[in-house]
Structure 1
């Protein structure tokens, strides 16, 4: 899976996650509001229904107790109680009546309207106790007995049970009222409220989806524009409409992108001018340097016949002329890399022969131990490999310590060349900068034999092969180790980087510093 596809999928997941969070928040708010409203509505309706039914039943029962039960003879018979109970129940359909009295002490008689439905065992003991309890008569209470009621359940059916006693002597009456119809009505109400809550939840989810789309569409456009800007498309702009916060954010993005584009354009122009200046300067210096180099070589040949006082100056001029010539060549090479005009000239190379030739050409055979088997064939640019090796080995000899060991091996599809010295190693604060241009470890010695470009050029030559160079200190503290990794076949890369319109001529092979 390509990087672009992975980035797109991750962006889509983030976008979906934000949308999901918005929908969930909307749904939770709507669910909380709907459940709260439904709960309050159900509770209010339940209390209203039960209170209305309860008040009506208790009012009828009180009235019947005052008119019928109170009119019974002082010592009623069972038939009297039975008849009164039936009359009381028939006068107000929907509940049963139970009357209890005593003809003789300890011998209660009972009359009820429906023996199968309502008996004394159906009356909760606590209610019987409250009904039979005589209340103290005082200023705030004029009656000895009161009407008490209680909601109970008999065989799974809800009922209202109430009772009272005739003041001044008379029967005790109990009433049983079924609340099953009210329960069914409240169940229907609960179902209706549940359906309404579910519909509200679905509606809120749809509303949240629409709101999320409205909010996230400009956010998604802003994210796409930011990714394009990060990919280098600095002319990316957003179409701004409206006056809300997202519109302000889009305007800020456009201003930032415009400022960034201008700054990058200015920096690119300055960089291009600097690169062209270096290239032109290096190119223009080659002609006088050629003449100076020729004169210096003649002076060097005649140095032994010159005045001993003049000979050191001649040698210094010759040395500095060569150093200047190397610096100019290195600057031109760096300019090619910066301009993207450097190209590979590929050939099949025996790595052992190439490394041996590099060492022999610079007379380093006595100072370098080579560990390389013949027959390791790779396809790369031999001139650039020579430049890399010359810089790495020369750096090890100059700043490290003998012996310098060069090991060559093949790891899979990679050529690995390791250059190790036995010097003091590289200071930890210098290690991250060894491949920087013009970097020198000692700031007190800005003028030395090297130009500070050698390792930088070696790294650029490795990169053009799609390779890399790493530097580290030996684990035992004995010297530094540079490791070059190049692909065994740079053919495809060589075709990609080849440029026949290079404005800067390819430089001649020389001894890099």
Structure 2
């Protein structure tokens, strides 16, 4: 009977104040609550930022943008290099072909040892080409002295790379694969950071050597304009891809968001939550799976609720059924208790034991009925001003725990509460302490400002 009463008390701690030790949960003195709140708010802010940065929408947009940027940059780079090669090749071939013809037409008509004035005049005529390049002619004058004249007076051999000079002056053997002793050679240079095309050739039969210098600034400007255009196109493509990614992410994530909201409502207890399913894609299959899961969960919860209701009805019915015979038994035991003094001394202890256990059984049934009323939502507090020390002592005494429990409860601590529920709470706490911690158990009662 004692074990049953203890189990009943431990199992229904909800009958009492849900926080009987409120004072133990207070913050220690001197701890700044505002600082902790600021830290918590700052931590929550960082978590919110981290959630935004790691959101699926942002990752989808970032992937779309990265793919679009890679494709746009690759296409722009390929287009730039192809156009660059085409522009430079076209300008270069045109200028070199014109320079070759000018060397054959103008320089080829000079004598083997021309005068310096003749070289200068010929260089100027050659430089009048529509391709706008400068000319430098080298030869030996009639006196046997080297002579170098340019079309503008500034173009000199210092602007010609040494490797190009060596290639132009080198004489090749004439054979079936090589019909000429000398060839036209060219090289792109960037003296001072400006792009130039330098070409050189030697007149067949020992005539003068000529060099041309053409600025490629116009072609470089065209290529820069092309690069800017491709950069702007790449930026526009990136912006467009980001907008398309945002739209695509919204389309993809809308069902996921609906699924998350439905799962949240289901977790809050709305078991009739269902998703509208349309289509045959993976998200539709996921929605169907969620609906089947919700239906199964709802059916299981309804089944458990029905079983719990049946259990509560059984306990309530059993409590009422036990109360009727217990009333008669209690009346008989009260009569026996009154006649204890007149009974045989050998029988009196047994009678007293029956009286005590009957009262405990009656309390157990009353507590069980209280539980059923609590489950049914009809339980009410019966408040009274009681001495907490007396309640603790009575709870320990009626359960025969005086030898295993030390009580430190000064009298005079009066509280307004429901005595029955306080008894259940005390029995729950002390019984658990004896069962799991062993004796002796020390119970102390103190007052503390809230």
User: Do they fold alike, i.e. is TM over 0.5?
Assistant: yes
Q: In the superposition, relative to structure 1, how do residues 347 and 98 fare at CA in structure 2: closer, same or farther (>3 Å)?
A: farther
Q: Please give the TM-score of this superposition, normalised by the length of structure 1.
A: 0.70
Aligned to 1:288: 325
Gaps of 5+ in 2: 1-36, 38-43
SS in 1 for 2:275: coil
Aligned to 1:25: 63
Aligned to 2:304: 267
Q: In the superposition, relative to structure 1, how do residues 346 and 21 fare at CA in structure 2: closer, same or farther (>3 Å)?
A: farther
Aligned to 1:107: 145
For residues 265-301 of structure 1, give each alpha carbon's deviation from its aligned partner in whole angstroms, at most 9, with x where no partner exists: 1110111011111111111121022223444565676
In 2, distance between residues paired with 1:391 and 1:51? 97
Which of 96, 107, 115 is the matching residue for 1:77?
115
Aligned to 2:210: 173
Displacement after TM superposition at 1:245 (Å): 1.8
Relative contact order: is structure 1 or structure 2 higher (C-alpha 8 Å, sep ≥ 6)?
2
Aligned to 1:224: 261
Task: Give matches, 1:351-430, under 5 Å.
Answer: 351-356=388-393, 358=395, 368-374=405-411, 376=413, 378-393=415-430, 404-411=441-448, 413=450
SS in 1 for 2:445: strand
2:52 is aligned with 1:52: no
For residues 120-145 of structure 1, give each alpha carbon's deviation from its aligned partner in whole angstroms, at most 9, with x where no partner exists: 22112221122112234444333222
Aligned to 1:65: 103
Relative to its length, the structure with more helix (as a share) is: 2
CA contact under 8 A between 1:60 and 1:92: conserved in structure 2?
Answer: no
Gaps of 5+ in 1: 414-513
Displacement after TM superposition at 1:31 (Å): 1.0
2:297 is aligned with 1:246: no
Aligned to 1:344: 381
In 2, distance between residues paired with 1:248 and 1:297? 71
SS in 2 for 1:173: strand
In 2, distance between residues paired with 1:79 and 1:23? 72
Q: In the superposition, relative to structure 1, how do residues 38 and 362 fare at CA in structure 2: closer, same or farther (>3 Å)?
A: closer
Task: Give matches, 1:114-263, under 5 Å.
Answer: 114-116=152-154, 118-263=155-300
Q: Aligned pairs, how many?
A: 407
SS in 1 for 2:280: coil
Aligned to 1:334: 371
Q: In the superposition, relative to structure 1, how do residues 380 and 140 fare at CA in structure 2: closer, same or farther (>3 Å)?
A: farther
CA contact under 8 A between 2:340 and 2:348: conserved in structure 1?
Answer: no
